[in-house]
């Protein structure tokens, strides 16, 4: 039974840490004693520096980002809950959003406004500071209404548009009211921003509020079918605030341009943002692959390509698909509808399943619109994994795939969704062999304890069957060899 307990412990350790306990002990403790190389030794300082660089990159890639195309809670997420009875957002995801709202829409100097500011504005900001910290949605909405009774407050309108409005039309009306109030605050703080640190903080907050409002208005226009208007609003916003790249407005612009089938404009945006010095995303990589696939996908045939080989344009398209799949290997199964989509979360993990869901949710229609693009993806995407070194100790075109994605995605995605895992954890042969041996031994011990006589009969029958071929051979040998010679051999 001790073997059985040991196997259970091995299985639990592997499920939690992704490696065998015996293997971990061997590598961490026995290898140095047997003369293994210590990675921390001075002789390996270059290797250590390289590893630390890779570790730093993995940490940055495991950072959770705000979803650039996140949906509206009241008009979209809540409607899903009303229809299905399921919660599309996790507590962790909503908690991150609450932190974002406090960072973007409040500042520490709200209670230190200049003396000529009205008391109503002070009270309004204090109410909204409390509202963004509230965990109860109804309490947040009530606080927003309370703030509006005191004064025209842009952040109060934002909260109502996000959480109370049940349609996109209602949300757009509230955002337009927020824009009017937000522009007034922005102009006032812009004139005073150089008068001190507190004024600069207030101006930074008012800038964030204004950018957020304009972006959400552009998203409302896109959802209501006014795509050209949405594109113009996004372009104007990027021109007015070029330094606010943290909002990733270019990803909203790419999606809207793809809806217009303005592929030349899409290529122009990619030329600016698909740069080696800028952080990548699934939207950037897969949109670049889609454009290259569009040039050849309508005439692509796997049979013809196998006979004549790939042309230069086809090779470029395949390489672009391989690049995209290496960045995020979860996307193809959603684009090829091998996995069902869910509503995207409010935050995503780059290169993770959450980012794949967010990308496919909005871009699947664009891939379907390009004739043959999904067929080309289906024929070529799995070839990516033959190019990536295993077990992913280094990447091919990008840094090694981070090992933290599964844990973070399980926090971001609802429990009813089966999280996509890459690479799949395969049980080592040692664990499988130990499991089988321990289970068989435990079963024999239990049966022998319960039915000793019956198991004795089975044991004798098993041993007689096992040694039957040997007895048969011995009988044949005795019949062939002379008795005197056999007698001498037995004496020896």
The predicted pLDDT at position 387 comes to 63
Residue 117 pLDDT: 45
Average pLDDT by consecutive 10-residue portion of the chain (492 residues)? 55 57 48 40 41 44 84 93 92 91 78 47 76 88 89 90 94 94 83 75 85 94 94 92 79 94 93 78 93 86 74 87 90 92 93 93 94 88 68 58 82 91 61 73 81 81 80 73 62 60
CA-nearest of 94, 101, 154 to 124 is 154
pLDDT, residue 119, reads: 47
**Is there a contact between 241 and 207 (Cβ–Cβ < 8 Å)?**
yes
Q: DSSP assignment, residue 38?
A: P
What is the pLDDT at residue 130? Answer: 86
Sole residue written with tokens 């509503």:
343
- The pLDDT value recorded for residue 106 is 82
Residue 335 makes CB contacts below 8 A (sequence gap 6+) with: 360, 363, 364, 367, 374, 377
- Would you say 272 and 239 are in contact if contact means Cβ atoms under 8 Å apart? no
pLDDT at 34: 40
Q: What's the CA dihedral at 154, 157, 158, 162 to 10 degrees?
A: 180
CA 231 to CA 247: how far, in whole Å? 16
Residues in the chain: 492
User: Which one, of 161, 163, 222, 213, lies nearest residue 185 by Cα?
Assistant: 213
For residue 457, CA distances in Å to 334, 439, 450, 451, 465 come to 58, 22, 14, 10, 12
The number of C-alpha atoms within 13 Å of 39 and in the hemisphere containing its C-beta is: 9
E-strand ranges in 40-108 read 64-66
Please name which of 339, 338, 355 lies closest in space to residue 347, comparing C-alpha atoms.
355
Supply the DSSP symbol for 66. E
- For the entire predicted model, the pTM comes to 0.72
- Domain coordinates of the chain in residue numbers? 52-63+256-420, 69-247
Instruction: Provide the pLDDT for residue 459.
Output: 79
């Amino acid at each position: 039974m001790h073997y059985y307990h040991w196997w259970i412990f091995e299985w639990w350790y592997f499920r939690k840490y992704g490696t065998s306990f015996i293997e971990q002990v061997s590598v961490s403790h026995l290898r140095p004693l047997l003369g293994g190389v210590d990675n921390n030794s001075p002789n390996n300082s270059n290797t250590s520096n390289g590893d630390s660089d890779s570790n730093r990159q993995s940490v940055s890639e495991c950072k959770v980002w705000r979803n650039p195309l996140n949906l509206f809670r009241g008009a979209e997420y809540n409607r899903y809950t009303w229809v299905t009875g399921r919660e599309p957002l996790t507590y962790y995801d909503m908690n991150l959003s609450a932190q974002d709202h406090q960072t973007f829409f409040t500042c520490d100097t709200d209670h230190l406004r200049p003396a000529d500011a009205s008391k109503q504005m002070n009270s309004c900001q204090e109410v909204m500071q409390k509202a963004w910290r509230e965990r109860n949605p109804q309490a947040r909405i009530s606080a927003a209404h309370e703030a509006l009774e005191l004064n025209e407050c842009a952040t109060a309108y934002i909260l109502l548009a996000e959480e109370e409005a049940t349609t996109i039309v209602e949300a757009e009306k509230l955002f337009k009211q927020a824009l009017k109030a937000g522009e007034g605050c922005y102009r006032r703080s812009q004139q005073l921003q150089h008068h001190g640190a507190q004024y600069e903080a207030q101006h930074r907050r008012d800038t964030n509020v204004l950018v957020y409002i304009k972006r959400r208005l552009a998203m409302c226009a896109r959802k209501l079918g006014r795509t050209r208007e949405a594109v113009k609003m996004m372009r104007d916003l990027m021109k007015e605030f070029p330094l606010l790249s943290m909002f990733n407005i270019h990803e909203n612009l790419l999606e809207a341009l793809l809806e217009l089938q303005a592929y030349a404009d899409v290529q122009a945006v990619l030329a600016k943002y698909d740069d080696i010095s800028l952080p990548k995303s699934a939207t950037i990589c897969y949109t670049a692959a889609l454009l290259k696939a569009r040039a050849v996908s309508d005439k692509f045939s796997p049979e013809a390509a196998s006979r004549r080989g790939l042309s230069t344009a086809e090779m470029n398209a395949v390489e672009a698909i391989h690049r995209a799949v290496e960045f995020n290997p979860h996307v193809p199964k959603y684009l090829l509808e091998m996995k069902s989509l869910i509503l995207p979360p409010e935050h995503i993990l780059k290169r993770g399943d959450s980012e794949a869901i967010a990308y496919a949710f909005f871009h699947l229609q664009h891939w379907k619109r390009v004739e043959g693009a999904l067929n080309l993806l289906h024929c070529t995407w799995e070839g990516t994994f033959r190019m990536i070194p295993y077990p992913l100790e280094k990447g091919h075109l990008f840094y090694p795939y981070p090992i933290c994605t599964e844990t973070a995605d399980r926090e971001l995605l609802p429990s009813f969704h089966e999280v996509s895992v890459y690479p799949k954890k395969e049980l080592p042969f040692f664990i499988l062999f130990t499991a089988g041996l321990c289970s068989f031994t435990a079963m024999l011990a239990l049966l022998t304890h319960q039915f000793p006589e019956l198991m004795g009969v089975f044991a004798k029958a098993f041993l007689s069957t096992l040694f039957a071929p040997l007895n048969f051979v011995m009988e044949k040998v005795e019949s062939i060899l002379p008795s005197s010679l056999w007698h001498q051999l037995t004496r020896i």
